Structure 1
C-alpha cells in the first residue's frame, strides 16, 4: 500500500506554479520554456524558479546547497 504524503505549503505552491507553467507552455504549443520569446523576461518562469528554491529549502533564508 502506498500512503499519500501531505504536501507542505512550499510543495503545494510549487505544484500550483508548475500547473500554471505547464498550461502556458501548452497554450503556446511548447514542451519547455526555452524556445519561448519571453524566456528571459517571463514572470511566470521566475515565479517557478523561486517556488522550486523555496520547496527545497522550506522557507529557510540563506544559501542553498545541492
Structure 2
C-alpha cells in the first residue's frame, strides 16, 4: 500500500497522460516483481499477437479498398 501511494504521488507530478501511463506500468512491474507473478510476461506475449492480428485486418481492408474505387467518375 505504501508503494501504491508513492506511485500515485509520482503520477500526480507527471500530470500528462503518458507520465501517468508510465508510472502505472512501473507500478505493475513492481507488483509483479514483489509477488513473483509473470503477468508482465503474458502482456508482452499478448502485444505482438494483437498487433499481428489487427495488422492483418488493416492490410486486408487496405487491399480490398484498393481494388474497389471509392468514387465512381
Provide the TM-score with structure 2 as the length reference. Answer: 0.30
Bigger Rg over Cα: 2
Q: TM-score, normalised by structure 1?
A: 0.32
Q: Which has the higher contact order (CA 8 A, sep 6+)?
A: 1
Give the helix-richer structure, 1 or 2.
2
